[in-house]
Amino acid sequence: MSATFARIRCGSVPPILADVAVGLAETGVALTLGHVGPPRQWQELGLRGTLLTCAINLSVVLRRRFPVGVLLFCVGLWVCYVQLGYWPVVNSIAPMLLVYTVAEQRPPRWAAAAAALLGGVWVYAAGLPAHQPIWPAVAQALVFPGGAPA
């Protein structure tokens, strides 16, 4: 498939349909990862974890319309999810996408705040399991969302 053909075909898809597809795909991947079995220190997904995972990942459907609000909603649910003892990695993709959405649609200071919020939650989540070194999470928190403000 040529690049021009791909651009024309993808350009004809309404953004809301693309976001629904992304939200469904993210949800499917997150649920699959969550149900495969988390590392020992995290609990199984279960019904509550599954519902939180669906809400976190499906929230990206509204990302273009309410980027900051959806980011805050998603991160708030993600913090609850982590606090309940679920594996943070399962729901990390949706907040990352939302940080990039904020970076795309808002001034750089908003993007920096969004990246700091994501990084803060990542470091917080890494500090929950006992006897786990926190420095790898700090490095990830600095590197992963770091491209957003640029």
Question: Per-residue confidence at 149, pLDDT binned at 50, 70, 90?
Answer: very low
Rounded alpha-carbon distances, angstroms, from residue 35 to 53, 55, 62, 78: 11, 16, 26, 17
pLDDT on residue 56: 98
pLDDT at 5 over 60: no
Number of domains the chain is built from = 1
In sequence order, what are the residues at sequence separation of 6 or more whose Cβ sits closer than 8 angstroms to the Cβ of residue 9?
A: none
pLDDT tens digit string along 12-58? Answer: 899 999 999 999 999 999 999 999 988 888 899 999 999 999 999 99
Domain range for 33: 3-147
3-state SS class at 137: helix
Question: Per-residue confidence at 144, pLDDT binned at 50, 70, 90?
Answer: low
pLDDT on residue 73: 98
